[in-house]
Amino acid sequence: MTIDKVKNLVVSVVGLISLLLPLAGNTASTHNHHHGHKMEHNTGQGAGKPGTQQDVDRTISVTMHDNMRYSLDGLRVKAGETIRFMITNKGKIPHEFTIGDRKSLLQHRDMMRKMPDMHHEKDNAITLNPGKFGELIWTFGHASDIQVACLIPGHYEAGMKFAVQVQHLK
């Protein structure tokens, strides 16, 4: 083998490795997402997780109104309970129904103030245009300072929120 041939071989082996490395990296990060790290960051630890149709324990209807109120002013759930929220926007402007712990809701609200046009599709939130209906299924976790809130700028401040009391049963 000439020196040139050895050089060529080295170059192509290095090239092959650098092609394969990013693939290995992608596989690893897909795997991480599978374990729900992303969701916990969005909703705050312990707020719960999206529920599935077959886990629904209770269905609750809620309406949203332009006086910055939901038809509910509070809700009691059991830790681990799955609720199907059937939500209707009765107003003439968009409203939102977001579930989270108080701290992550406030962080999210501040982010929306800076980027009011941001449209976020999140597991723990639904935004409804006037007259629209939507569903959100949520399995509550163990955290106790859970709220439902509308994070459209100004709405939370005007009182568009209610507390969810999570009961721990033994």
Task: Quote the strand ranges of the chain, DSSP E.
Answer: 48-50, 58-65, 69-70, 74-78, 82-89, 95-101, 125-128, 133-140, 146-149, 161-167
Identify the bridge partners of residue 58 per DSSP, sorted by sequence position: 83
Of 146 and 152, CB closest to Cu ion: 152
**Going by DSSP bridges, is the β-strand pair 82-89/95-101 parallel, antiparallel, or unpaired?**
unpaired
Q: Which residue has the tokens 């209610």?
A: 162
Closest approach of Cβ 113 to Cu ion, in Å? 14
Q: Is 93 exposed, middle or buried (0-12, 13-18, 19+ CB in 10 A)?
A: exposed
Of 66 and 123, CB closest to Cu ion: 66
Q: Which residue is nearest to Cu ion (CB)?
A: 150
Q: Which residue has the tokens 């990060």?
A: 29
Of 108 and 155, CB closest to Cu ion: 155
Q: Which residue has the tokens 């897909």?
A: 30
Rounded CA gap, 54 and 42, in Å?
24
Q: Is 160 a binder of Cu ion (CB under 5 A)?
A: yes
AA identity, residue 122: K
Of 96 and 101, CB closest to Cu ion: 96
Closest approach of Cβ 129 to Cu ion, in Å? 12
Q: In this structure, what are the phi and psi dihedrals at residue 30, rounded to the nearest 5 degrees? A: -60, -40
How many residues touch Cu ion under the rule CB under 5 A: the total is 5
Site for Cu ion in 30-69 (CB under 5 A): none
Site stretch for Cu ion (CB under 5 A), options 29-37, 126-134, 141-149, 157-165 = 157-165
Q: Is 87 a binder of Cu ion (CB under 5 A)?
A: no
Which of 43, 47, 85, 95 lies at the binding interface for Cu ion (CB under 5 A)? 95
Of 109 and 155, CB closest to Cu ion: 155
Helix (H, G, I), strand (E, B) or coil at 51: coil
Site for Cu ion in 96-155 (CB under 5 A): 150, 152, 155
Which residues contact Cu ion (rule: CB under 5 A)? 95, 150, 152, 155, 160
